[in-house]
Amino acid sequence: MAGPPKLVLAVIDSVKPEMLDRAIEEDRAPALRALRERGSYMRDCVSTFPSVTPVASATIATGVGPGEHFIPSMNWYHRGEERYVEYGSSFPATRAFGVVRSLYDTVYNMNMAHLSRSRETLFEQLDDAGLRTACTTWLIYRGRTRHEPSGDSRLGRLATAAQFRHAVWASRELFYADMFDSRNTGCTSTLGLPGQRDQHTGCVGAYLVEHDLFDFLLFSLPDNDTHSHRYGPDAQVRSLAEADRALERIMHVAGGPDAFLEDHAVIVMSDHSQTKVDRRVNVSDALSGWRVLTPSDPAPEEAELAVCPAARSAMVYVLDQENEDSLAESVADDLRDVEGLDLVVRRVGPEAAVWSTRGELRFAPDGELADRRGRRWSVEGEHDSLELSVADGLVTSAAYPDALERLWSALSSPYAGDLLVSAAPGWEFVDWGGADHVGGGSHGSLLADDSEGVLLATGVELPRRGQWSIGDVASLVLRHFSLPSALDE
């Protein structure tokens, strides 16, 4: 008896739903049009908070938020190692923390040390079920197969010369920016250079389809994010056309869309969206009354705070843990005077405290109100601070979708800062390299414009949900292969 169709999970970074609609309407995305015409399509699939790629990628791979997978942001402070962790906010930020150090954190430590071991990834669960897994260059790849660094190409040898000599545990087939190649496909990504990554994914994907080498393929298409950061989200039609060519390429080797979809199911999704930014704020400078830890700080023992900007989100850590609560309250008071901040959030005992210019509220799980996903909350204070609507025992927010769960999960991560900050519309936080995307696009905040992306499924059954989240996709994949999933609970 034949099993389920092979499944391709295509993650197109930063897709803004209206831009995907426009790309299809302008006939720039025929492969995506074919999938939309044959499947189910949603335009409000909610991301994590912060809505940045490392956090969202970990949620897609594990099905849980940062409170359970432990990846808290793009830049964060590791209390145990007393240092910043930088996953690549920008090249200047990477350089500020040391290129090799940042690449080690991104390539190795994110999967092998920072990602929680108590939560299995999709690759681990599917590998354990005897399914053939594959992954193109993507941040979260942890699986059951050991891969040595590639030495077959000039670029692979360059990575080895830069001290990337350690093996990783990943999906059965792994193709990671020329550093890891489970087989010689003849494809190259120029070490993950932006603008080349979608082409590499399309090349590898076509090889895998042609040679029938997977049951599940995570098909990563990140170049839309880079293009949108530079030119703004309204320019995504061009970069989505490039992502579409990669999808068209894997369909072509199977004989076209109809023939491809006879043997393959497809899920297309974004990890988050993007919004325009035209103003910048430096959180470290705004906290000038405090001694903020800097990269390569000459006197780290004198620092009072660690500040971690991540696009349109940020975290602040109080380094004096004996006086953590009182100092965090003082920092929160100072942050309220900083222009460009929308929300300041922190834990106060068993509750979360949220401040905005519209008011303050506190909330905690297990109360009298239910959200759209059926979880229950107690809420006290000014509902306007999160633009909450309460009716018939249901609490919702159009401005901040799934706000209570996303904030609670972010605060619950063991690596989270003492204070979480979300930027106001149009604002971005300058990173530690002095870089920003002003004049282009960015993401990271709790707002809907940063957080609501697309979910398109063809050949995969979508059960009814009050609200879809990127964390639901792991369960969709497991369900497709008749494995236990949260959607069946």
- Specify whether 349 is located in the same domain as 383: yes
- Specify whether 51 is located in the same domain as 131: yes
- Specify whether 240 is located in the same domain as 281: no
- What is each CA distance from 103 to 99, 176, 178, 307, 451, in whole angstroms? 6, 13, 14, 20, 27
Asked if residue 79 is part of any domain, the answer here is: no
State the residue for tokens 């359970």.
68
* pLDDT at position 231: 97
Asked if residue 187 is part of any domain, the answer here is: yes
Q: What global pTM score does this model have?
A: 0.96
- Specify whether 313 is located in the same domain as 222: no
- Which region among 107-121, 177-191, 235-249, 330-344 has the lowest average model confidence (pLDDT)? 177-191
Angle made by CA atoms 236, 240, 243, in degrees to the nearest 5: 150
- Specify whether 350 is located in the same domain as 465: no
Asked if residue 83 is part of any domain, the answer here is: no
Nearest alpha carbon to residue 308 among 403, 418, 225 = 418
Nearest alpha carbon to residue 460 among 208, 268, 185 = 268
* pLDDT at position 1: 45
- Specify whether 421 is located in the same domain as 295: yes
Distance CA 426, CA 450 (A): 11
- Which region among 161-175, 299-313, 450-464, 465-479 has the lowest average model confidence (pLDDT)? 161-175
Contacts of 170 (CB under 8 A, 6+ apart): 111, 123, 135, 141, 142, 143, 145, 147, 176, 180
- Specify whether 19 is located in the same domain as 159: yes
* pLDDT at position 127: 98
Average pLDDT taken over every residue of the chain: 94
- Specify whether 335 is located in the same domain as 420: yes
- Domain range enclosing 175: 6-71+115-274+447-488
- Specify whether 139 is located in the same domain as 235: yes
Asked if residue 217 is part of any domain, the answer here is: yes
* pLDDT at position 161: 52
Asked if residue 58 is part of any domain, the answer here is: yes
State the residue for tokens 């500040």.
307
pLDDT by residue (tens digit) across 34-54? 999 999 999 999 999 999 999
- Specify whether 204 is located in the same domain as 347: no
Average pLDDT over residues 454-471: 93
Asked if residue 33 is part of any domain, the answer here is: yes
Average pLDDT over residues 339-349: 97
Average pLDDT over residues 342-361: 97
- Specify whether 130 is located in the same domain as 17: yes
Asked if residue 47 is part of any domain, the answer here is: yes
- For the cut 70, the answer to whether the pLDDT of residue 489 exceeds it is no
* pLDDT at position 74: 98
pLDDT by residue (tens digit) across 81-104? 999 999 999 999 999 999 889 999
Rounded percentage of the chain residues whose pLDDT exceeds 70: 96
Which CATH number covers residue 217?
Answer: 3.40.720.10
Total domains in the chain come to 2
- Specify whether 237 is located in the same domain as 290: no
User: Which helix H or strand E contains 308, and what residues bound it?
Assistant: strand 305-310
Asked if residue 293 is part of any domain, the answer here is: yes
State the residue for tokens 């920092």.
331
- For the cut 60, the answer to whether the pLDDT of residue 413 exceeds it is yes
* pLDDT at position 159: 56
